Amino acid sequence: MYSGSFSGTNIPAANFSLTSASAATSTAGEAVDIVGGPKVPLTLIPPVALDTARKTLQAELTYGEGSYTQDLGVSLSIPAQSRVGTYTGTLTVTIAAGP
């Protein structure tokens, strides 16, 4: 979203994309398992637009009980002739447990 004094417009959410997702690194608790995870899903092949939810890490049943870090590369395409000002986006990160 744009805020400023030069009548700028919002940059579409589809311009914000995920460009890379590293393997998870354990910082506490259960170690990363090559089969059970946490691991990057095979279905995630960057770059992907982040105007919709994307899964970047998954763990099988009984795996992933710990703390982990993952580096995510992101990129923003700034349209030509964008106005001076502050552009603010909200990135929602969800840890989910479900079937």
Q: Which residues bind another protein (CB under 8 A)?
A: 16-17, 19, 23, 34-35, 37, 39-45, 47-49, 52-55, 58, 74-81, 86-99
Q: How far is it, in rounded angstroms, from Cα 91 to Cα 71?
A: 15
Closest CB 13 distance from another protein, rounded Å:
12
Positive or negative torsion for Cα 71, 68, 35, 62: negative
CB atoms closer than 10 angstroms to residue 30: 17
Residues making up the chain, counted from first to last: 99
